[in-house]
Chains A and B, each alone.
Chain A
Amino acid sequence: MFGYEFYVDPARCIGCRSCLQACEECDTHRGKSMINFEFIERKESIRSAAYVCWHCDEPTCAQVCPADAIKKGEDGIVHSSLKPRCIACNNCVLACPFGIPKMMEPEQQMMKCDMCYDRTSVGKRPMCATVCPSQALSYVRPEEIASRCEKPTNIFYFGNQKITTKVFMMAPAEREAIALDVVDYMWEENHELVATRE
């Protein structure tokens, strides 16, 4: 839909999994949910996060595909693998820094979020962002998102790899990019000692 963008705001997520349930209803992958959802250390807190494919400007999944089965459209949407080409090698599953592609059995095909191509291409909002009760997943105009306390960014650093994406992450206002490095997780129990890279 023209003028609309997808925003992911984990701080709003209430763990209801409405997105997972609604994703199954989408026409391009009936009965299969493409949402990634996690409770973040449920023992410690009620925090949860749901997210969709970030639709990278230069998608790693497509770059590593030996069969040239993963295509990005002109609208920036990165699609599921092309069924006749996909060799189910799992390269994309392993390479995606966000952990998005799913290898589907028994189809032997990589499938992923295509931002509800069946809906967005005909002027409807994606199913997950439409139903999300807390609007942790939102598909709205940028001026609407500007009223939130968190601010959007679409720049990610995974170590030295810089990734820019179509989908935005809502982050604290002072933060211009989301930066993660493997060393952040060397001492899981002591995040505060190492999670200082900004």
Chain B
Amino acid sequence: MAKAPVAEEILKEKFGPHLNYQPPGGWNDESVHPAEKLVKTHCCFCGQQCGIQLKVRENRVIGFEPWEEFPFNRGMLCPKGVKRYLQGNHPDRLLAPLMRSDQGFRPASWDEALSFAVSRMREIQDKYGKDAVAVYGGASLSTEKSYLLGKFARVALGTRHIDYNGRLCMVSAGTAYKLAFGVDRSPIPWSEIPKAEVLFVIGANIGDCAPITTDYIWRCRDKGGKLIVADPRMTPITRNADLYLPLRPGTDLALLMGMLHVILRDGLADREFIDQYTTGFAAVAESVQQWDLRKVSEMTGVPPESIEKAARWIGKSKRAIMMHARGLEHQSKGVENCLAVLNIALATGNVGREGAGPTMITGQGNGQGGREHGQKCDQLPGQRSLTDPAAREYVAGVWGIRPEELPQPGYSAEEIMEAIHRGEIKGLLSMCFNPLVSLPDANFTREALSKLEFFGVIDFFLSETAHHADVVLAGSLHEEEDGLGCSAEGRVIHWQKSIDPPGEARRDSDIIIELAHRLGRGQYFPFKNPADIFEELRVASRGGVADYYGITYARVDEQMGIFWPCPSLDHPGTPRLFVDNKFYTHDGKAHFNLTEWRPSGDPINEEYPLFLTTGRVVSQYLSGTQTRRIGALVDQNPEPRAEIHPRLAEQYQIKDGDWITVTTRRDDVTVRAMVVKTIRPDTVFIPYHWAGIRSANRLTHRTLDPRSKIPEFKVSACRIAGANGPDESPDDRGAHKNGASRGDA
């Protein structure tokens, strides 16, 4: 039974999160014991993948120095990057494997922990079938680890079910770009951004979530570029927007179809480009006819003249860039939303040209590289499809197995949790994922975890999810293993190993390889080092869309990153895609795609009259497993606050700083209010990085986009009420207030 073995408070006391404020030895130690070396590597906290130099002494990271030569960020770092080094030397760090015990967890030898994990997974697979064990991966893993985990699930465990937390990030955009262009990557490098005449940013809180991109936007503005921002909240970049479209949560698709309507109505389409390089235009043109300004304005809450102006600015400009992120994509129509952006880009010919194009802003550390080589439930290395017979044959050949031995596609991340909940999946091995905080409907997730017959976790801190584990294998931090990542731009970069894992902790890849050996599949995992894994990955990706064959660690270092595809050792890499207007689709053309309006999966009504939307703050990263342990970052945002507009606050007699309870159809959460005019009066925003009774994902719902399977984090229905004080119940409080049962009674 994978319930937490003892009360959360006891586990927290022992395993944190505790706050680390100072480098090892204190603030002044470096003046006595200076760094022995500077290691050029990257930040681990988001898809920007800023270059940074870590100061190292005696196998410890003791500080950082900006890396001004790295071209993407030129020394710039957000607060997470500045304090990134404090995740090392942390009192909460797991230094040995842990086994569940009556007292919580006890340290165990590697042999005991690995033997237990392997025997439990085997027993479950023997009893219930191969697919009864699932694997979770994560997009903060290096590309080598991501590849290794995909191969491990399919070759060592032989399960269909492997997916990763990137399912909560880039899959809507990825699905849409594959449909339109046949490739899942930003078509442009960031150096194109300042060249645009118009920047259209929709559903992307760039200032907080991709801070370095701000400088690119401001440089565009310096050159006279116009900035349009569409968001239910005025995010920091809105301060310099030329046009702000404060749309109602979940109505992006209507706005985008309305904009295309105006572009076509006003004759601003690029007919030559459409005729020569695209298919499917006529049907899309017809479909947006009904999306006139009046209808769109009513649905979105955006004034018709603003919609018209945005469409005309894009339509009349020579070069427009459309940038989007999770605001657009975390919806049950996330794929449609992205397709609607791509339809506008194609209709105006803003593809493949300098300073023009649609682009997605990848959110997770290796959100790009981690989704290219096989830890997605339906994908093989090189962005190949697991259902494509030729791809199966090729990759099976590289791996030395028969194609029929390769499992078919399995469930996506949330679907795996649902299969666990209904008893179909009995065992789970999870690495680099904290689903209890990051999946929607946290109470459901907790119930599911409590039903697992075996739960193994590979991690460096004991995350809230790991509280439910039977065994925890102490893995490695970003800086403790060599590997490659791929940034939001599509630039493959080198995460240089800075130090060895401390104590008995092991490199993540060594743990996976050892598990494979103990499962009797060692001959398929002959790797000694990440470089060996990468050599196989190069070949496995060869000929795929994400072709890494021409990439080597040495070339990456020399060129400060290489943009894939890079099919041969003398290939310079591909910073901008589609320069010759050739696309990666079966017919070589770009495809318009029909988009159909659907309501949100959690509609507002009289009982739940407000929109709830969730997102990030600048000082925290994802589920907070790392950043909630860094003192200075926690001080910057000590707790989640619910942003509400003064008009809404007045209606409920709530003042700034008051406690309020936000209730959805799942649960309620009590947090302090932040009363600001920078949010729509019908919308509540809560950041999602926190666990337990402050977890925003207690409130969100499990509706998925039917194609990308991304949850609809950005649109829930809620109501609010003033509260007398904080909710003092324990994290795993008992009976559900709305009557449903919780996991831990």
Contacts and interface: CB of A to CB of B under 8 A. Distances in A.
Contacts of A14: 207-208, 211, 214, 236-237, 239, 618
A21 B676 contact: no
Nearest to B21: A31
Given A45-B239, A46-B235, A125-B75, A18 B218 contact: no
A20 to B, nearest CB: 8
A63 B145 CA distance: 61
Interface in B215-269: 215, 218, 221-224, 234-240
Nearest to B236: A14
Interface string B596-634: 000000000000000000000011000000000000110
B677 interface: yes
Contact of A130 (B76, B208, B234): B76
Contact of B676 (A31, A42, A125): A42
Contact of A21 (B68, B82, B221, B675): B82
Contact of B208 (A16, A47, A148): A16
Given A43-B646, A134-B218, A16 B656 contact: no
B211 A16 contact: yes
Contacts of A132: 76
A45 B214 contact: no
Nearest to B28: A30
A48 to B, nearest CB: 8
Interface string A117-154: 00000000101001111110000000000011100000
A57 interface: no
Given A15-B236, A21-B83, A131 B75 contact: yes
B66 interface: yes
A16 B79 CA distance: 7
Given A46-B238, A125-B68, A15 B207 contact: yes
B629 to A, nearest CB: 15
A12 interface: yes
Contact of A17 (B222, B234, B636): B636
B218 A131 contact: no
A130 B632 CA distance: 19
B120 to A, nearest CB: 43
Nearest to B224: A149
A5 interface: no
Given A45-B234, A46-B239, A134 B79 contact: no
Contact of A25 (B82, B238, B239, B619): B82
Contact of B76 (A27, A44, A135): A135
Nearest to A128: B82
Interface in A73-132: 125, 127, 130-132
Contact of B211 (A11, A18, A48, A149): A18
Interface string A23-46: 011010011000000000011111
B240 A11 contact: yes
A36 B401 CA distance: 62
Contact of A149 (B63, B78, B222): B222
Nearest to B74: A130
Contacts of B534: none
Interface in B71-93: 73, 75-79, 81-83
Given A21-B83, A43-B677, A130-B68, A149 B221 contact: yes
Contacts of A31: 22, 27
A130 B236 contact: no
Contacts of B207: 14-16, 46, 134
Nearest to B223: A147
Given A30-B27, A133-B214, A18 B78 contact: yes
A149 B618 CA distance: 26
B79 A18 contact: yes
Q: Which of B237, B239, B240, B619 has the most CB of A within 10 A?
A: B239
- Interface size bracket, B side: 35 or more
A26 to B, nearest CB: 11
A21 B28 contact: no
A45 B677 contact: yes
A22 interface: yes
Contacts of A24: 632
Q: Which of A14, A27, A130, A149 has the most CB of B within 10 A?
A: A14
B22 A134 contact: no
A16 B64 CA distance: 19
A46 B77 contact: no
Contact of B678 (A22, A45, A130): A45
Contact of B214 (A22, A42, A134, A149): A134
A149 to B, nearest CB: 5
A132 B676 CA distance: 25
A12 B260 CA distance: 31
Contacts of A20: 79
Given A16-B211, A133-B211, A133-B212, A21 B677 contact: no
Interface string B38-79: 000000000000000000000000011010100001011111
A44 B675 CA distance: 9
B218 A12 contact: yes
A11 B27 contact: no
B31 interface: yes
A5 B397 CA distance: 59
A64 B75 CA distance: 38
A46 B678 contact: yes
A78 to B, nearest CB: 23
Contacts of A46: 207, 234-236, 238-239, 678
A18 B284 CA distance: 44
A6 to B, nearest CB: 15
A145 to B, nearest CB: 10
A8 to B, nearest CB: 14
Contact of A43 (B63, B211, B656): B656
Q: Which of B73, B77, B240, B656 has the most CB of A within 10 A?
A: B77
A133 B221 CA distance: 15
Contacts of B656: 43
A148 B219 CA distance: 8
Nearest to A48: B236
B491 to A, nearest CB: 18
B135 to A, nearest CB: 35
A131 B77 contact: yes
A180 to B, nearest CB: 21
Nearest to A39: B676
Contacts of B675: 43
Contacts of A125: 66, 68, 75
A36 to B, nearest CB: 16
Interface string A142-179: 00000111000000000000000000000000000000
Nearest to A133: B211
A135 B215 contact: yes
28 contacts: A12-B240, A14-B211, A14-B618, A15-B236, A16-B79, A17-B79, A18-B211, A21-B83, A21-B636, A22-B77, A30-B31, A31-B27, A42-B676, A43-B675, A44-B676, A46-B207, A48-B236, A130-B66, A130-B75, A131-B75, A133-B76, A133-B77, A133-B212, A134-B211, A134-B214, A135-B218, A147-B223, A149-B221
Nearest 9 interchain pairs by C-beta: A14-B207, A14-B236, A133-B211, A30-B27, A31-B27, A134-B214, A21-B82, A21-B79, A131-B77
